[in-house]
Structure 1
């Protein structure tokens, strides 16, 4: 479209403006902002609400109604260790939110220093953090909240640009890195084995450098195939960097989004350091909920059965979004988008300089989108091009209307940009 001559561009502008006015006249109230499970997906976990019933004794005899047990109960730890392919002794089970554990790990490192720190991070001249982009906004909010300098590196089809990561990690002020290694938020990219090993093996300037390995989507396939979950704990141990990874996971979008079980896997030394602070913060996690989840899943195959149900609900929505983007935008060359095989998001790149305008146009038409730049630290996308799409929550019928409207907004913003040239 950007190659249209002046007459064709003016004609197209009139056509797309008319479409946009028709869109606004519909008085829509649609929301594509957050990757929440739909009511149908939440229903898949309703059996949890009656568990564990009167059967509240864990396999080792623990009465789950009582206090204690920073590690979580063995029932769910053994099960989830099988799901992730890591030893249960390297895995703690917590409460609903892995994001809470991530905040704890980083804030405790800031206040006290972690088990490899020479001093608390708050006493460093500056703390820097590597942020692959586009990335997860809630990650960036944590490091922003603590005042870290966040340095972006681009994503490739195999994960973050490792040349850029290695160069940054050599700086002793760089203390860590955010990652979503499987079906990343928002790109859907899964790190290759080579990238996983490179992150485990690379030299770092800071002895207390940590990679937050947020495997939130480790089993969130949109197909019948489940991704390989690489045991980066072993990779790091083999490379002589056993404490490098803080490995996170949870059931939050598998069972009940606000009432799942979170998991933290790492080296024994890291886990002992975590426990030394967690035992001060509280008196153990919700073991009743952990037991309920263990009874609900039964085993790792039970998790996969549950995820196939989710795929059956999500895959048609993702397919329709991709079809509409292709039907409405492909011929004009004004946007590109990812085609994920799992996870919760599609990453849409529009004409440089127009993402914020697309979001504004959509808002005025009654379609809420995640803010432009949300997938970048401080919400600042230097190219103003990226928009995160979240297809999971609305029913397909609403999603079709919303995405057709988004496509109209993308075209109108691109047309406006071309007319300015």
Structure 2
């Protein structure tokens, strides 16, 4: 298992950005809700606590037991994460006299500490908080300040535990990448060897072990996610993968022919299915966008199931699910209020009776593209503009007809 940084999410809008910055350092990381902390295994090299829209002073505010981690693993609390540590261990967090949101400058930086190495006096950072740490617990010391916030950063004496009041993950914190590198590489000691090439090698090996001689069927969209996922599976099992590309009558102009043509260069076994009329019939009279999405999703599954049944002995369904789909389907406060119906994470009707294989479900979109380049997939597919499955049906207001689709395409 690759070494990793564990990011515990308290609901911040910036949590995925923290993960992106860590991944940019060629270090693997995972986001988990604060209330679903995974087992702390030897591959976890450090922990980052995210921000939150909540206040630590609120009744029922997100909380976590840090005693099992403190002093054993480096910890970095960002904004809410830093306030939570301060309050839990005897400090005082109070409402800010002025809610601080936006640019600020670090007028005091103690560069003796590894976290702040190469940070310059006056460095611009991004603040977003309504509370302020007024009193630090015993054994906590201030290592950075702004004119308005004395405790802009702290360290716990005798352990690699840090808190910062600002957000280093956003581009407005001009030296934020330095700080994250200092924590991940210098303090946590991560080797920075998690690359696209390494991902391809390890994933293909895992797929070979997992799938063996089993057959896999996979729906292709022509987009980068499904194309890269299919290519990885094909590398592992060859012709035991069958791909299905469905023309739902809602694709872009000439897209069905162009996509089928582009797949020939990848050596994938692709079946093209013209199902336009089935989709138009199902959409007849529907005007509500969500009703259209559901109708399209239902018919796609019916068409796909018909094709899957033509393949003898198929056991697996390949999917191009990527990491944001996974994260957003497990929100911090329970299920997200509304996830649009085409937001598919392992979602399959029971009658298909297939196991799901998702080789990209730990990657962000830009990482998928890098893996695609490592696999030497043509740039026309790697850089293809995303186009959702419901496609033109949502672009067209009112009911759907073949004539309206023709005009919209033009």
**Shorter-chain TM band:** under 0.3
Q: Which has the higher contact order (CA 8 A, sep 6+)?
A: 1
Q: Which has the larger radius of gyration?
A: 2
TM-score with structure 2 setting the length: 0.24
